């Protein structure tokens, strides 16, 4: 899959994901607003019911007082209900006597005259608002109406008097005289800003005040009704985002792996092509009549065939070895070994290659306790790999130093060169299989990109650490840290140190 197609797929997936997230946000916002409207509707309905009940009770008391003054009895509840339904307003505009809603010419059972009703109403108008509202009835009515609508939340209520320009009742008690709307008793300042207000005693010429409710946890109450939907939406959206991110990572990882495998195949082809061509040429030469009569030349060509065969076998062994490590189908042969002896032997074997390039290979073995538990063969191989890399990636005369020192975890080995160095981006991938650092104008660096991957695998098997410090143009230092013994406790220590190192570098 080419880069253009990958970008197109990522663009389409991103657009679709953004569209889904946008729709989720829109529906959640719409649901919240719908719940707010329903909540407001229920609260105002409850307030109107309470205000109507207060007005109804006061009307009943007015009619009872009027009947008592006349020495008569009547169905005051029925009359109060009729007044509550607006017949008092009709009577005020059209007649001296309250009309009978049943039919023309009828009168109420209590035979109340309008002037008597208006007289008592005027007396009520002159009474302070606080005296017209019974506290127990108000509190119980609010509780009943709020509860009947399924609103289970903490609330505050108050009765505001226009005459006093302040609240006269707040939360089951009367409020003393104050100088203005700076009441702090019972949370009154919050009531001033509450949108939930209804006028009281609207049968008066002018309403003397209003009843208000305040919900401190209104936002939380509204959100609680959509919380399950909100949580599920966030969870599923998070899962989609994670899958999207993971898919993109896999696509790029697979693309990179494909490129690295192609490079590996090309490198392997070139690595095998040269020795195969050399072996073929040497075999043809041995079969030549001119060569068959010269035993010394035959021996030379046989040595060439044997050398090239060993070279091919070494390459094949390295590939097979990495395959075994990937499958975890190998076991370390653990013995006590002296790292200084292993290093010295590797230096002796490798020094000739460095000297051919007029380079220097020195040792700085400072560790006082170099004995560890490890596999001598694999440790010698990874040291040889690091020395080989230091030599190959030094453009001119190699200057390589291999040293040791004691550390709390065990023994540390460092291989330092003054070569081309490694960039910060390349350092993140140098331990990946098939990855090879770009060498710029240097084209004679051969290999499969398996050396450092092998180093990391062996260090992991030894419960050790591998790290690199490098700057382009200034060289590199590879650091191997071996524990004294390979035990479960050591494995936990390695994990902790790896995490701490990652935190510091991050």
pLDDT tens digits, 360-369? 889 999 999 9
The answer to whether the CB of 486 falls within 8 A of the CB of 334 is: yes
3-state secondary structure of 112: coil
Query: In terms of DSSP bridges, do strands 399-407 and 360-365 run parallel, antiparallel, or are they unpaired?
Result: parallel
Q: Tell the CATH topology of 242-326.
A: Helix Hairpins (1.10.287)
Give kind and range of the element (H or E) at residue 129. helix 129-132
Q: Average pLDDT for residues 339-352, to the nearest whole number?
A: 87
Q: Alpha-carbon distance 277 to 284, whole Å? A: 11
pLDDT for the residue numbered 184: 42
Q: Alpha-carbon distance 250 to 355, whole Å? A: 45
Q: Which DSSP state fits 185? A: G
3-state secondary structure of 401: strand
Question: Bridge-partner residues for 203, per DSSP?
Answer: none
Quick one: 193 exposed, middle or buried, by C-beta within 10 A (0-12, 13-18, 19+)? exposed
Q: H helices within 193-217, ranges in order?
A: none
Q: Average pLDDT for residues 396-413, to the nearest whole number?
A: 90
End-to-end CA distance of the chain: 33
Q: Alpha-carbon distance 10 to 24, whole Å? A: 21
Sheet of 360-365, strands arranged across: 360-365, 399-407, 410-416, 475-483, 465-471
The 10 Å Cβ neighbour count of residue 423 is: 13
The domain defined by 335-505 carries CATH number 3.40.50.2000: no
Q: Which residues contact 446 (CB under 8 A, 6 or more apart)?
A: 267, 270, 271, 392
Residue 94 scores a pLDDT above 80 = no
pLDDT for the residue numbered 388: 85
How does DSSP assign 366-428, residue by residue? --S--EEEE-HHHHHHHHHHHHHHHHHT-SSS-EEEEEEEEETTEEEEEEE--SS---HHHHT
Residue 479 scores a pLDDT above 50 = yes
Residue 457 scores a pLDDT above 80 = yes
Q: Which residues contact 175 (CB under 8 A, 6 or more apart)?
A: 166, 167, 168, 169, 183, 185, 186, 188
pLDDT for the residue numbered 24: 84
Give 77's pLDDT tier (boundaries 50, 70, 90): low
Q: Which DSSP state fits 430? A: T
Q: Mean pLDDT score of the chain, rounded to an integer? A: 76
Domain definitions of the chain by residue range: 3-216, 242-326, 335-505
pLDDT for the residue numbered 29: 85
Beta-sheet strands, E only, within 256-378: 335-338, 360-365, 371-374
The answer to whether the CB of 343 falls within 8 A of the CB of 376 is: no
- Of all residues in the chain, the percent with pLDDT exceeding 90 is 9
Q: Average pLDDT for residues 427-440, to the nearest whole number?
A: 66
How far is Cα of residue 7 from the mean position of the Cα atoms in its chain?
25
Q: Average pLDDT for residues 84-102, to the nearest whole number?
A: 40
pTM of the model: 0.46
Q: Which residues contact 326 (CB under 8 A, 6 or more apart)?
A: 433
pLDDT for the residue numbered 481: 92
Give 490's pLDDT tier (boundaries 50, 70, 90): very low
Q: Alpha-carbon distance 183 to 165, whole Å? A: 11
Of 361, 408, 368, the closest CA to residue 386 belongs to: 361
Q: pLDDT digit string (tens) for 285-312?
A: 887 777 777 788 888 888 888 877 877 7
Residue 34 scores a pLDDT above 50 = yes
Q: pLDDT digit string (tens) for 130-153?
A: 888 888 888 899 888 988 888 888
Q: Alpha-carbon distance 191 to 211, whole Å? A: 10
Give 54's pLDDT tier (boundaries 50, 70, 90): confident
pLDDT for the residue numbered 341: 92
- Check for a shared fold between 242-326 and 335-505: no
C-alpha angle 493-499-504 in degrees, rounded to nearest 5: 125
Give 483's pLDDT tier (boundaries 50, 70, 90): very high
Residue 205 scores a pLDDT above 90 = no
Q: Alpha-carbon distance 47 to 138, whole Å? A: 10
pLDDT for the residue numbered 488: 53
Q: Alpha-carbon distance 368 to 200, whole Å? A: 95
Q: Which residues contact 124 (CB under 8 A, 6 or more apart)?
A: 58, 62, 132, 201, 204
């Amino acid at each position: 899959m080419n880069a253009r197609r990958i970008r197109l797929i990522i663009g389409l997936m991103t657009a679709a994901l953004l569209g889904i997230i946008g729709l989720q946000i829109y529906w959640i916002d719409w649901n919240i607003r719908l719940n707010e409207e329903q909540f407001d509707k229920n609260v105002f309905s409850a307030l109107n019911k309470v205000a109507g009940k207060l007005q109804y009770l006061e009307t009943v008391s007015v009619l009872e007082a009027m009947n008592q003054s006349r020495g008569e009895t009547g169905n005051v509840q029925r009359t109060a209900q009729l007044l509550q339904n607006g017949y008092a307003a009709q009577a005020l505009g059209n007649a001296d006597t309250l009309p009978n809603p049943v039919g023309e010419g009828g009168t109420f059972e209590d035979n109340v005259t309008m002037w008597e009703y208006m007289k008592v109403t005027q007396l009520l108008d002159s009474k302070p608002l606080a005296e017209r509202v019974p506290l127990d009835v108000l509190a119980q009515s609010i509780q009943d109406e709020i509860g009947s609508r399924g609103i289970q939340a903490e609330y505050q209520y108050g009765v505001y008097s226009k005459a006093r320009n302040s609240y006269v009742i707040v939360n089951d008690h009367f409020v003393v005289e104050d100088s203005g709307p700076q009441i702090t008793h019972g949370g009154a300042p919050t009531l001033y800003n509450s949108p939930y207000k209804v006028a009281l005693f609207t049968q008066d010429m002018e309403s003397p005040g209003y009843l208000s409710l305040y919900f401190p946890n209104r936002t939380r109450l509204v959100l609680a009704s959509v919380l399950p939907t909100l949580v599920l939406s966030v969870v599923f959206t998070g899962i989609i985002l994670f899958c999207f991110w993971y898919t993109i990572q896999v696509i790029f990882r697979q693309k990179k792996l494909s490129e690295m495998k192609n490079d590996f195949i090309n490198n392997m082809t070139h690595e095998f092509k040269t020795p195969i061509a050399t072996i073929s040429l040497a075999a043809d030469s041995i079969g030549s009549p001119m060569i068959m009569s010269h035993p010394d030349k035959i021996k030379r060509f046989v040595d060439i065939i044997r050398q090239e065969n060993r070279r091919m076998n070494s390459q094949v062994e390295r590939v097979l070895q990495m395959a075994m490590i990937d499958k975890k189908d190998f076991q370390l042969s653990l013995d006590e070994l002296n790292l200084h002896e292993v290093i010295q032997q590797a230096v002796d074997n490798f020094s000739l290659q460095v000297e051919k390039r007029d380079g220097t290979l020195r040792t700085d073995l400072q560790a006082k306790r170099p004995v560890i538990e490890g596999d001598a063969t694999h440790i010698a191989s990874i040291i040889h790999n690091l020395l080989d890399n230091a030599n190959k990636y030094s453009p001119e005369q190699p200057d390589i130093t291999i040293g040791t020192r004691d550390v709390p975890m065990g023994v540390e080995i460092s291989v330092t060169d003054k070569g081309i160095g490694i960039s910060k981006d390349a350092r993140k991938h140098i331990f990946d299989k098939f990855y090879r650092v770009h060498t710029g104008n240097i084209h004679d660096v051969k290999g499969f990109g398996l050396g450092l991957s092998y180093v990391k695998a062996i260090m992991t098997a030894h419960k050790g650490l591998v790290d690199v410090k490098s700057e382009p143009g200034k060289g590199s230092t590879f650091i191997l840290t071996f524990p004294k013994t390979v035990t479960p406790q050591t494995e936990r220590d390695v994990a902790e140190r790896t995490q701490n190192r990652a935190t510091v570098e991050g």
